[in-house]
């Protein structure tokens, strides 16, 4: 499938990397010749130097044959204009990155309709949502949601002295009864889609599929349930910080934002009257201590520098802050952060890459099901996908135990109407269901791909 990416910054490059790995015919557009040359050398794809809103540039990129056009430059206005022109020239689907809060209110639906946008994505807003989910259940390292928050995939790091150390999944279900499913395990560099005989070890990272209520019950039984983070200190008054603070304030949380740019402080203070905004350099440990970092429930570092976010988060951890989360965009630094003891990080680049990959797979195939949601888990080594089952799906009414599922594939959840099902071997898939599948080592475009040919 031909997909054109206009804008090859950090997010654009991450999207290109993901789509190339999935075998798409990707064309990159950027107005910086050095960047175009670098992208061409790294990915061996067609690249065009020019503006995504230029007719000749789009024509050279073959926009009239594009199934999908994605504009992720640094300018919202240029992204919207590029998508509008691309649509007029024949691109079937157009997606624009729109970050400005002024465009993300009631005006967004109007803009989408008038510009013919298939979708508008806001990495900062999506990142803020992920952060909010984690602060709601601080024991989790990561939380991904499905079916309008009916299901959650919760990543949890098992401590060396975990109650689950040495337990098989069968024994775990007997000892800690509830509606949940351990659907993926990362041990060192290996990832497993486990069966009931799999034995957990301290140090594992596990992915648990459950509703929010069942996850809290499980965490309570395991003795790791932490209270919601009611007092949150945010370093850096970025767009992500704005969206997160707005969501936290609406939920009744206490929010303090530390930002060294006075003008930005005034803007945020006016936009978020419920937040305490401190003008100062958060890299200074004395300032953090003066502002009560040792008394807060959570510290979130959202500056524009990964290195600074990591280092200051390490300091916050040393002060026994219960939950510390840095924003880290670069993969190599994300792995480094985890080795330094920061179990929980967020990456806007990866969030947007997942969104675009979901969209691309949904366009590519619809043989009885559609990809609704896709998340990369366990450092990108596993995927959780949500499918909407159509009436012509071949394998309806067949018990899961009678299906010849591929190795490293697991049906982890079924939503039937309002009924949430954590499936056993006797459960079946029906038309209209939403089905969540865990996999490692496969690229699934359709629910039928889980069956061994």
Is 397:430 a contact under the CB 8 Å cutoff? Answer: yes
**CATH 3.40.50.720 domain extents, the chain:** 2-121, 231-321
Question: Can you tell me the mean pLDDT for 364-381?
Answer: 74
Burial 86-99 (b: 16+ CB within 10 A, else e): bbebebbbbbbbbb
Is 122:104 a contact under the CB 8 Å cutoff? Answer: yes
What are the E-state strand segments in 148-303? Answer: 151-157, 180-187, 190-192, 205-210, 231-235, 254-259, 276-279, 298-301
What pLDDT sits at residue 39? 96
At residue 368, does pLDDT exceed 50? no
Q: 416-439, pLDDT tens digit by residue?
A: 998 999 999 999 999 999 999 999
- Residue 338 gets the label, from left (phi > 0), alpha (psi -120 to 50) or beta, of alpha
Check residues 226 and 280 and name the one with the higher pLDDT.
Answer: 280
State the architecture of 2-121 in CATH terms: 3-Layer(aba) Sandwich (3.40)
What pLDDT sits at residue 364? 64
**Domain 231-321 is found in CATH 3.40.50.720:** yes
Q: 399-409, pLDDT tens digit by residue?
A: 999 999 999 99
In whole angstroms, give the CA distance from residue 152 to residue 352: 19
Percent of the chain predicted with pLDDT > 90: 72
Q: 329-359, pLDDT tens digit by residue?
A: 888 898 899 889 898 999 988 888 888 888 8
At residue 366, does pLDDT exceed 70? no
Is 206:155 a contact under the CB 8 Å cutoff? Answer: yes
* Four-way CATH pick for 350-450: 3.30.360.10, 3.30.70.20, 3.40.50.2000, 3.30.70.1450: 3.30.70.1450
DSSP H/E element including 28: strand 25-30
Please name which of 289, 280, 337, 295 lies closest in space to residue 313, comparing C-alpha atoms.
Answer: 337
Query: Which residue(s) pair with 96 in the sheet?
Result: 71, 120
What pLDDT sits at residue 418? 87
Helix axes 239-250, 123-136, angle to 10 degrees: 40
Question: Can you tell me the mean pLDDT for 17-44?
Answer: 94
Percent of the chain predicted with pLDDT > 70: 98
Check residues 443 and 65 and name the one with the higher pLDDT.
Answer: 65
In whole angstroms, give the CA distance from residue 327 to residue 127: 9
End-to-end CA distance of the chain: 24
**CATH 3.30.70.1450 domain extents, the chain:** 139-222, 350-450
Contacts by 28-32, CB closer than 8 A, 24 or more apart: 28/4, 29/4, 29/5, 29/57, 29/58, 29/61, 30/6, 32/8
* Four-way CATH pick for 139-222: 3.20.20.140, 3.20.20.70, 3.30.70.1450, 3.40.630.30: 3.30.70.1450
In whole angstroms, give the CA distance from residue 71 to residue 42: 20
Is the alpha carbon torsion for 364, 370, 371, 372 positive or negative? positive
Please name which of 21, 24, 26, 89 lies closest in space to residue 53, comparing C-alpha atoms.
Answer: 89
In whole angstroms, give the CA distance from residue 146 to residue 175: 27
DSSP 135-188: HHSTT-SEEEEETTTTEEEEEEEPPTT-TTTT-BHHHHHHHS-SSEEEEEEEET
Q: Quick one: pLDDT band at residue 315, thresholds 50, 70, 90?
A: very high
What pLDDT sits at residue 374? 86
At residue 382, does pLDDT exceed 50? yes
């Amino acid at each position: 499938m031909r997909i054109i990416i206009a804008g090859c910054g950090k997010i654009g490059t991450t999207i290109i990397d993901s789509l190339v790995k999935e075998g798409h015919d990707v064309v990159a557009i950027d107005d910086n010749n050095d960047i175009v040359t670098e992208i061409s050398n790294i990915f061996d794809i067609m690249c065009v130097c020019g503006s995504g809103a230029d007719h000749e540039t789009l024509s050279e990129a073959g926009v009239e044959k594009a199934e999908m056009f994605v504009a992720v430059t640094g300018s919202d206005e240029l992204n919207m204009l590029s998508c509008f022109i691309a649509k007029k020239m024949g691109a079937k689907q157009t997606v624009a990155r729109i970050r400005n809060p002024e465009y993300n209110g009631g005006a967004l639906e109007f803009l989408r309709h008038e510009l013919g946008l298939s979708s508008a994505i806001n990495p900062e807003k999506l990142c803020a949502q992920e952060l909010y989910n984690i602060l709601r259940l601080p024991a989790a390292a990561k939380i991904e949601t499905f079916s309008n928050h009916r299901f959650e995939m919760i990543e949890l790091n098992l401590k060396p002295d975990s109650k689950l150390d040495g337990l098989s999944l069968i024994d775990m279900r007997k000892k800690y009864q509830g509606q949940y499913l351990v659907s993926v395990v990362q041990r060192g560099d290996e990832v497993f889609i486990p069966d009931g005989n799999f034995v957990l070890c301290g140090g594992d990272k596990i992915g648990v599929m459950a509703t929010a209520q069942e996850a809290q019950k499980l965490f309570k039984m395991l003795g790791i349930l932490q209270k919601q983070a009611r007092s949150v200190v945010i370093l850096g008054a970025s767009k992500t910080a704005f969206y997160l603070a707005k969501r936290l304030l609406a939920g009744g949380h206490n929010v303090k934002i530390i930002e060294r740019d006075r003008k930005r402080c005034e803007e945020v203070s006016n936009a978020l009257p419920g937040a305490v905004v401190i003008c100062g350099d958060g890299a200074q440990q004395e300032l953090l201590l003066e502002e009560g970092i040792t008394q807060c429930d959570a510290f979130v570092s959202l500056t524009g520098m990964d290195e600074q976010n990591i280092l200051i988060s390490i300091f916050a951890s040393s002060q026994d802050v219960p939950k510390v989360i840095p924003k880290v965009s670069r993969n190599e630094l994300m792995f480094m952060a985890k080795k330094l003891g920061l179990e929980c990080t967020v990456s806007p680049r990866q969030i947007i890459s997942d969104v675009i990959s979901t969209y691309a797979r949904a366009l590519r195939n619809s043989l009885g099901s559609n990809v609704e949601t896709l998340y990369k888990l366990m450092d990108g080594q596993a995927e959780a996908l949500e499918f909407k089952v159509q009436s012509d799906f071949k394998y309806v009414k067949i018990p899961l135990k009678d299906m010849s599922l591929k190795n490293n594939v697991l049906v982890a959840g079924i939503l039937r109407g309002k009924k949430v099902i954590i499936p056993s071997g006797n459960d079946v898939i029906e038309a209209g269901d939403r089905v969540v599948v865990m996999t490692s080592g496969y690229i699934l475009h359709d629910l039928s791909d889980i069956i061994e040919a």
